[in-house]
C-alpha cells in the first residue's frame, strides 16, 4: 500500500525557474522525508520533516508540512539542469517503516 502520493507525476521547466511538487498522504504520520533518484541509480535523502514542524530549508530546497491537510510540498528554487531526477516522498505511520509514493519526474531544460 502506498501512503504518500506525489503530484504532479511529471514536471518540465526551464533552468532558473522554481519547481514545486506536492505529496499527499492518508493517515497521521511521525515524519515525512523527501528523496531524489537519478535515472537508474539509488535514492538520495534530501530532507526529513517531523510532524511537529511546519517548514525546513536546505540550500535551494524548502519543504513545508501541513498536517491538517495531510500534505507536504517540496520547492526547488533556481532550478539547474542537474536537478533533473525523480523526487519521492516517504511517510512513516504506525509501523515506522517509510512508505514511498510513485514520485514526480522533474526535467529541467538548460
Partner 1 sequence: DGGITQSPKYLFRKEGQNVTLSCEQNLNHDAMYWYRQDPGQGLRLIYYSQIVNDFQKGDIAEGYSVSREKKESFPLTVTSAQKNPTAFYLCASSPRIRGETQYFGPGTRLLVL
Structural contact between residues 92 and 31, judged by C-beta atoms closer than 8 angstroms: yes
- Shortest Å, Cβ 90 to partner 1: 8
- Shortest Å, Cβ 31 to partner 1: 5
- Enter the C-alpha cell of residue 1: 500500500
Q: How far is CA 28 from the centre of its chain?
A: 17
Strand partners, 108: 13
- Shortest Å, Cβ 6 to partner 1: 9
Nearest residue (CB) to partner 1, 34 versus 76: 34
Nearest residue (CB) to partner 1, 10 versus 81: 10
- Shortest Å, Cβ 17 to partner 1: 25
d(CA 99, CA 27): 12
Structural contact between residues 81 and 108, judged by C-beta atoms closer than 8 angstroms: yes
Residues in contact with partner 1 by the rule CB under 8 A: 1-2, 30-31, 33, 35, 40-45, 48, 50, 88, 90, 92, 96-103
Nearest residue (CB) to partner 1, 7 versus 15: 7
Nearest residue (CB) to partner 1, 15 versus 103: 103
d(CA 89, CA 47): 10
Amino acid at each position: 500500500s502506498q501512503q504518500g502520493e506525489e503530484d504532479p507525476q511529471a514536471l518540465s521547466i526551464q533552468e532558473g525557474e522554481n519547481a514545486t511538487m506536492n505529496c499527499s498522504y492518508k493517515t497521521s504520520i511521525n515524519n515525512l522525508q523527501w528523496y531524489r533518484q537519478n535515472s537508474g541509480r539509488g535514492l538520495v535523502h534530501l530532507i526529513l520533516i517531523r510532524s511537529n514542524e511546519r517548514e525546513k530549508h536546505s540550500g535551494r530546497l524548502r519543504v513545508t508540512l501541513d498536517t491538517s491537510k495531510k500534505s507536504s510540498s517540496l520547492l526547488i528554487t533556481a532550478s539547474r539542469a542537474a536537478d533533473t531526477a525523480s523526487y519521492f516522498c516517504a511517510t512513516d505511520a504506525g509501523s515506522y517503516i517509510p512508505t514511498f509514493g510513485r514520485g514526480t519526474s522533474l526535467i529541467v531544460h538548460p
